[in-house]
Amino acid sequence: MSSTPAAPPAVRPRRVVTDRRGGRSRSPYFSFNLGDHVGDDPGDVAANRARVARELAVPEDRLVWMNQVHGTGVAVVTGPQDGPVPETDALVTSTPGLVLCVLVADCVPVLLTDPVAGVVAAVHAGREGVRQGVLPATLSAMASLGARARHVTALLGPAVCGACYEVPVAMQQDVARVAPAAAVLTRKGTPGLDLRAGLAEGLHRAGVAQVVHDPRCTVEDRFLFSHRRDGVTGRQAGLVWLG
């Protein structure tokens, strides 16, 4: 009697969101700042990034960073990069062990995975990214690698909440034309934006059924970096990879 050999285990998508605890940076970047563009000591940032690699058990050069510009640029990456990918707000890969990194301090880190096709993406979605359509651009790039929206799971990481994100009414309306659910009132009753609500609406409209929210607000949670709250500060990261 013969048996069919078991199939090798599938490569699984993995997602992590860091916070500000456990690093080497000093005030006002205290302490696990991963942003190398905010004025922190480069040696401290390098040590913090090295810790990320150690914790994930990957070589440091497998971490892929972006030079984020609040646009809609999407880069498909297949291997280690020589520095941050320039002028990019989303990274997509189907290469196992390549860790895609998005830096935030109020914007939404969006981590997308298609476990069927073996495709993942990390997206920097701030107000301008939502308005300009960075998420549809990312889903399109994922589809070029075989991903299908019905198989995609999205994690919307910690970001400024609608109750804290006060904006002029014209700015709110500008975003609401693309993402109506983003238009909310703040706790003061003034015009606000809930970017995660707007992004979730767009994901569902695109056919993504499973959208997971990390409910933490960066302004309210002192364990998270927030530019709106503190001004000069560090950056936490959203990380996604096939492991």
Asked if 218 contacts 226 with a C-beta cutoff of 8 angstroms, the reply is: yes
How is 43-95 classified by DSSP, letter by letter?
HHHHHHHHHHHHHHTS-GGGEE-B---SS--EEE--S--SSSBTT-SEEEE--
Rounded CA-CA distance 77/98 in Å is 9
pLDDT at site 3: 41
Spell out, as residue ranges, where the chain has pLDDT lower than 70.
1-10
CA-nearest of 65, 109, 104 to 214 is: 109
Domains of the chain: 13-242 (3.60.140.10)
Q: How far apart are CA 115 and CA 120, in angstroms?
A: 8
Q: What is the pLDDT of residue 11?
A: 75
Q: Tell me the whole-structure pTM to 2 decimals.
A: 0.94
What are the backbone angles phi and psi of residue 172, rounded to the nearest 5°? -60, -45
Predicted confidence at residue 7, as pLDDT, reads 37
Give the number of C-alpha atoms closer than 13 A to the C-alpha of residue 42, restricted to the C-beta side. 0
pLDDT at 81: 97
Q: Say which residues have a Cβ less than 8 Å from residue 91's Cβ, sequence separation at least 6.
A: 64, 66, 74, 75, 76, 77, 85, 100, 101, 102, 121, 122
Q: What is the mean pLDDT of the chain?
A: 95
d(CA 110, CA 96): 19
